[in-house]
Structure 1
Amino acid sequence: MISRRVAGRSLAVLLAAATAFPAGGTAAAAVSTAPRPAAPKPPAPVPLADLVPGVPPGPAQPWQIDTPDQALAPKVYTPTKAEDAVEPKDAAPGTYDLVEYVPLGDAVAKVTCSKQTGPYQRQVERWLKLKVDGRQSAADCKAVRAFQTKHGIKPASGFAGPVTWSTMMLLSARKNPNAAKKCPVRTYRVACVDLDRQLTWVQKGGTVVFGPVPMRSGRKGHVTRKGWHTVYWRHKNHWSTLYNQPMPYAQFFDGGQAFHAVYGSIHTTVGSMGCVNLELGDSRKLWGVLKKGDKVYVWGRRPGG
């Protein structure tokens, strides 16, 4: 009885060995012919919708979701000289600080170097001339943090978020925003609205006479309408009939859509209700450049929208 059990076990061992090491082969040969495991995929970036401001909001950073836009075309009339003479109030100090949007966990823990993959990881890696693999690494974080510190982006945690990417887009566009020739060149003034990079500028012929400056365009469902438009009404101290809030330096170009300033950050993950939102200083300068009848050209698609 014992001899049969021993014999059975010996046979099982021999069969297992024959399966692992085919005739004429060795252990090394078996390993070399085995299929290699697939390389792990890069971690999915944190969705824009899951990000929060990286610093606590305050009086100068209301972080409004909606913006003081206009649902319908305004009632057109000629403002009085007194209305035109009054300049809109200035924004509170710190209103337009560059505050990055980061994962909630990073914000709560106040991490100094994020391990999370940002929604603009590959783009930021490429811009900084790092290894483009879509994976956040210690080297990536160090390089992104250095960029954020240099350009005043808070918190400088190395997270590749929308404000960091927007700043890179602005820096890249400063010398020649129309290098890709997506905004038509005309002999007259054309206000160019680039939804892809969230930038706007004005050019006359091949000369840029304003900008480029950062902007915020319409969100999904309320997109800033593409194509050619015309500035048809301007009101320096316009008031929104939709949100009952000020729309400083409003220049309407298509129905209820207009260039105008907002008293809050334009760097948010949620777009406007269709208008082209600008910082107050940029909107004030644009007021002095555009005139009624000037042309506006819109193209592209807002990231994440």
Structure 2
Amino acid sequence: MGDHRRRVVGVAAVAGLVAPLALALGAAPAQAAGSCTTQTGPRQKQVEKFLGRPVDGRQSAADCKAIKAFQTKHGITPNIGYAGPVTWGVMDLMNKQKAVGRTPNKAGKCPVNKGRIACVDLTLQLSWIQDGKDLVYGPVPVRTGRNGYETRTGLKKIYWRHIDHVSSIYHVPMPYSQFFDGGEAFHSVGVSMWNPPGSHGCVNMTKTTAKKYWSLLKTGDDVFVYGRKPGT
């Protein structure tokens, strides 16, 4: 445990983690693999509106196809086109993220007296880089620690960077890693930022975002994490 390289806890392995959560929340009825459900979900109207479908609150073949495509894209399982709470939770978060626009620190929760700092809003699953009150980059969607592996809150500093890091615990690639708290780091992943249930504590990013953070931040820069991820 003395070597911080061995304490890296990185991103969660995706396979096999999402379905148990979805089923526990009653996300969808039992359905044969690969099929499309004819059942109307409890969030049918909200999901139809989000996807630009006719809002009639009744499941159709076209509705199911559109919902299923969304679920497949973002790793929501079972991906059978059911308008349940997990699917709507992702859509609702997307709506809230979009509403933030270019003022992610409007409430002033991320310090503006630290110079350049990377901010992470767990509640909205957004991150950005600011310098004082000036927005430098973002906000961008991120994927943080799931229930039981919550990304720790507070003021931290980037203490180690490794561009080609591989987790010593989970044995998964963590490109563009910038560590700021024990094994927690910014790094890129190859899954959707809205893929439930989340990481093992790291702040996951797209490759584009992780590369930008790598170019804008350096060892010693501040990181501030606040809020609470939905579902934790």
Q: TM-score, normalised by structure 1?
A: 0.54
Read off the aligned partner of 2:28 and give its amino acid letter: P
CA deviations on 1:41-99 (whole Å, 9 max, x unpaired) are xxxxxxxxxxxxxxxxxxxxxxxxxxxxxxx7227xxxxxxxxxxxxxxxxxxxxxxxx
Alpha-carbon offset, residue 186 of structure 1: 2.1
Structure 1: 5+ residue stretches without partners: 1-71, 76-100, 119-135
Residues 1-305 of structure 1 aligned to structure 2 (within 5 Å): 73-74=4-5, 103-105=28-30, 109-111=35-37, 115-118=40-43, 136-137=44-45, 140-146=46-52, 153-154=70-71, 159=83, 161-305=88-232
Name the stretch that deviates more: 256-265 or 243-252: 256-265
Distance 1:175 1:153, change over 3 A: farther
Question: Contact 2:102–2:139 (CA<8 Å) still a contact in 1?
Answer: no
Alpha-carbon offset, residue 236 of structure 1: 0.8
> Could you say what secondary structure the match of 1:146 adopts?
coil
Give the whole-Å Cα distance in 1 for the aligned partners of 2:199 and 2:161.
19
- Please report the RMSD computed on the Cα atoms of aligned residues, expressed in angstroms: 2.9
Read off the aligned partner of 1:250 and give its amino acid letter: S
Distance 1:244 1:155, change over 3 A: closer
Distance 1:155 1:259, change over 3 A: closer
Percent of matched pairs sharing the same residue: 40
Distance 1:192 1:110, change over 3 A: same
CA deviations on 1:99-148 (whole Å, 9 max, x unpaired) are xx862558865248x73224xxxxxxxxxxxxxxxxx54xx454222189
Name the stretch that deviates more: 159-168 or 240-249: 159-168
Higher relative contact order (CA 8 A, sep 6+): 2
Q: How many residues align?
A: 188
Q: TM-score, normalised by structure 2?
A: 0.70
Structure 2: 5+ residue stretches without partners: 7-21, 54-62, 74-80
Give the whole-Å Cα distance in 2 for the aligned partners of 1:105 and 1:176.
42
